[in-house]
Amino acid sequence: MRGLWIAVGFLTRIPVGDPSQGGKRDVRVSSAVPWFPLVGAAIGAISGLAWLGLSEVTTPLVAAALATALAALITGAFHHDGLADIADAFGGGWTVEQRMEILKDSRLGTYGTSALTLAYIIEIAALSSLDPTVGFQALIAAHIVGRALAIVAMLISPVGGDGLGAAYISELSKPAAWVSVVASFAAGAALLGSNAILGLPLAVIAAIAVVLLARSKIGGITGDVLGAITVVSLVTTLVTATF
Taking only the tens place, the pLDDT of each residue in 50-104 is 999 999 999 999 999 999 999 999 999 999 999 999 999 999 889 999 999 998 8
pLDDT at 181: 97
> Residue 30 has what pLDDT?
82
Contact 203, 236 (CB under 8 A): yes
pLDDT class for 233, splitting at 50, 70, 90?
very high
With a cut of 80, say whether residue 21 has pLDDT above it: no
Q: Would you state the pLDDT for residue 52?
A: 96
% of the chain exceeding 90 in pLDDT: 76
Q: Which of 172, 150, 173, 148 is nearest to 221 (CA)?
A: 150
Please state the domain extents for the chain: 43-240
- Under the banding of pLDDT at 50, 70 and 90, the label for residue 46 is very high
**3-state secondary structure string across the chain:** CHHHHHHHHHHCCCCCCCCCCCCCHHHHHHHHHHHHHHHHHHHHHHHHHHHHHHHCCCCHHHHHHHHHHHHHHHHCCHHHHHHHHHHHHHHHCCCHHHHHHHHCCCCCCHHHHHHHHHHHHHHHHHHHCCCHHHHHHHHHHHHHHHHHHHHHHHHHCCECCCCHHHHHHCCCCHHHHHHHHHHHHHHHHHHHHHHHHHHHHHHHHHHHHHHHHHHHHHCCECHHHHHHHHHHHHHHHHHHCCC
pLDDT tens column, 92-121? 889 999 999 998 888 889 999 999 999 999
Q: Would the pLDDT of 17 be above 90?
A: no
Q: What percent of the chain has pLDDT over 70?
A: 92
Instruction: Give the per-residue pLDDT at 166.
Output: 58
